Amino acid sequence: MKTQVIRLSALSILLFLFFAVAGAQDIASFEKRITVKKLPNGLTVLIMERPEAPVFSFYTHVDAGSAQEVNGITGLAHMFEHMAFKGTDKIGTANYPAEKAALARVETAYAAYQHEDDKETGRDPKKVAELQQAWQKAIEDADQYVKVNEFGEIVESQGGVGMNASTDLDETVYQYSFPENRLELWAYLESERFLHPVMREFYKEREVVTEERRMRVESSPQGRLIEQFLGAAYIAHPYGRPTVGWPSDLHAFSATDAMNFFRKYYVPGNMVVSVVGDVKAAQAMPIIEKYFGRLPAAPVPEPLRTKEPPQHDLREVVLTDRSQPLYLEGYHRPDFRDPDDAVYDVLSDLLSKGRTSRLYRSLVRDKQIALGAQGGSFPGNKYPSLFFFFAAPVPGHTAREMAGPIHEEIDKLKNSDVSDDELKSIKSRAKADLIRSLGDDMGLATQLADYQAAYGDWRELFRQIDRIDAVTKADIRRVANQTFVETNRTVGVIETAGPPKAEQPTGGAQ
């Protein structure tokens, strides 16, 4: 009895702390510590005072990802992300005037080589080789001025940690953390690389990105499945193209293409910068305005015009590979601004969150036919996306065997209400997940900037929890019935291939 009392007391304390923290994580308490300002050039700055440790984190959100690319330059958004770490006209160079002239010669040589190499008729192999050699010589001349990784070394030498960036279909982001007394240095460095970017070592880095593609796609059965699955699910919208780019584009686009992409999309009105930590907005904002205000104003890019037409028939992709079999299916769903967006969040939690989720219980625990199973939304958020179901069968079971149990779970969603306990747990987890995501400076900077960029108001981060809390059983059934229909389904399967013929047993007497 004594042990039980102690356990109950501990549980009571945990619950008290949870709800005490939850009460503090509301819009009103955040409004007291958050300052948002749109600079005259259009850039949005968000500062949150959080003096719990003498550090701050920042997050630069650029509203440009691979969805903004066009045929011929796929992979360029990701490529520019790499180039943003190469320095500026002051950082990363031993002699910028000489380097600038050398880089211009690289582009001239590359354009001449590419023009001859791309000829469909009258291509002269000898001339191509000569032009390629001249281009490579121009690269060598430009490389002599490079101070390799000087930008990163400056950040690290001044106490910066967690320096990173990423590109997806919807956005490109940059982030790291600094001691609180390095705010002005950060503002200079971060603004400078978008004020004076330099496409140094571009073609060397292009090979690095090409190798990334080989690792993530060509050498990965799962990567190939996802790429071909999305290509089948999307016939018009750029969500059907890989963020890393098509191989032919990676071998073709130029530093000039990268600068054109930068000038169009890296404009202040297309950027949100958040700073969270031991900073005072009254002191930090003038510093940020001083440096980021230097970025020249420019028109915000036009919205993406292409919309995915409705799907009217089942689509299927089958890969045969000597690898783990996999099963994937997806259904088109609306974007994040749709009134039912929160319902899809609830569905994702219901199907995939932890060992009590429906897919785990059915396929992994009870039927024991899958190593793992999950469902949720991908590949993007800004435009209409997919709600997917994924399963990896255990040895002895095929990918096709995953479809039946998955559809059983889908039918339950369409034909019967979720339980009160399930819905209550989902809503509690949503609140707990929000609290966890706000537990450190970088998590806060990320969430606040993402919601500010998406909705124009960081407060939507908290309102999304309210929208989840308002989801009903009837909402779940309604959305399941309108989304999970056969004509809206795309299937991707990896079927395990047998050994090559040379390795197969020959049979007969030994």
Classify strands 385-393 and 326-333 as parallel, antiparallel or unpaired: antiparallel
Residue 42 is assigned to a structural domain of this protein: no
Query: In total, how many domains does the chain have?
Result: 2
Sheet with 34-38, strands from edge to edge, namely 34-38, 44-49, 271-277, 55-62, 172-179, 161-167
Among candidate residues 292, 307, 324, the one where a domain is terminated: 292
Confidence of residue 288 (pLDDT cuts 50, 70, 90): very high
Q: Nearest Cα to 36, choosing from 463, 460, 468, 464?
A: 460
Are 278 and 399 found together in one domain? no
Q: Please say if the pLDDT value at position 36 is more than 90.
A: yes
pLDDT at 11: 38
When pLDDT is cut at 50, 70 and 90, the band that residue 1 belongs to is very low
Whether residues 140 and 273 share a domain: the answer is yes
- Whole-number average pLDDT of the chain: 93
**Is residue 260 a part of any domain in this protein?**
yes
Residue 38 domain-assigned (yes or no): no
Nearest to 74 by CA among 196, 197, 167, 176: 167
- pLDDT > 70: percent of the chain: 93
Which amino acid, 60? T
In this prediction, residue 498 carries a pLDDT of 72
Show which of 239, 259, 292 is a domain's final residue: 292
Q: Measure the CA angle with vertex 159, ends 154 and 164; round to 5°.
A: 70
509 pLDDT exceeds 60?
Answer: no
Report the length, in residues, of the chain.
Answer: 510
352 located within any domain: yes
Phi/psi for 329 (5° steps) reads -140, 150
pLDDT reported for residue 503: 52
Q: Tell me whether residue 36 is in a domain.
A: no
What value does the mean pLDDT take over residues 126-144?
98
From CA 416, how far away is CA 476, in angstroms rounded?
10
Same domain for 212 and 106? yes
Q: Which helix (H) or strand (E) holds 346?
A: helix 341-352
Do 445 and 495 belong together in one domain? yes
**Tens digits of residue pLDDT in 55-114:** 999 999 999 999 999 999 999 999 999 999 999 999 999 999 999 999 999 999 999 999
CATH of residue 382? 3.30.830.10
Quote the pLDDT of residue 439.
87
In a domain, 453, yes or no: yes
Do residues 286 and 328 both lie within one domain?
A: no
Domain C-terminal end among 260, 292, 324 = 292
Whether residue 332 is found in the same domain as residue 474: yes
Residue 210 reports pLDDT greater than 80: yes
Residues 287 and 325 in one domain: no
pLDDT score for 251: 95
Report pLDDT for 324.
93
Mean pLDDT of 387-396: 97
330 and 276 housed in the same domain: no
Res 16 pLDDT > 60: no
Give pLDDT, residue 329.
98
Residue 58, in any domain of the structure = yes
Q: What angle do CA 39, 43, 49 make, to 5 degrees?
A: 75
Asked if the structure places residue 14 within a domain, the reply is: no
Q: What is the mean pLDDT of residues 465-481?
A: 97
Tell me how far apart the alpha carbons of residues 377 and 375 are, in angstroms, rounded to a whole number: 7
Q: At residue 37, does pLDDT exceed 80?
A: yes
Q: Which structural domain, as residue segments, surrounds residue 178? A: 48-292
Each residue's pLDDT tens digit, 398-455: 999 999 999 999 999 999 999 999 999 999 999 999 988 888 999 999 999 999 999 9
Task: Name the CA radius of gyration of the chain, rounded.
Answer: 26
Q: Are residues 250 and 346 in the same domain?
A: no
pLDDT value of residue 501: 64
Do 328 and 236 share a domain, yes or no? no
Predicted local distance difference test score (pLDDT) of residue 437: 86
> Quick one: pLDDT band at residue 9, thresholds 50, 70, 90?
very low
Residues 246 and 354 in one domain: no
- Which residues, including other chains, have CB under 8 Å from residue 166's CB and lie 6 or more apart? 81, 172, 173
pTM for the predicted model, two decimal places: 0.90
**272 and 383 share one domain:** no
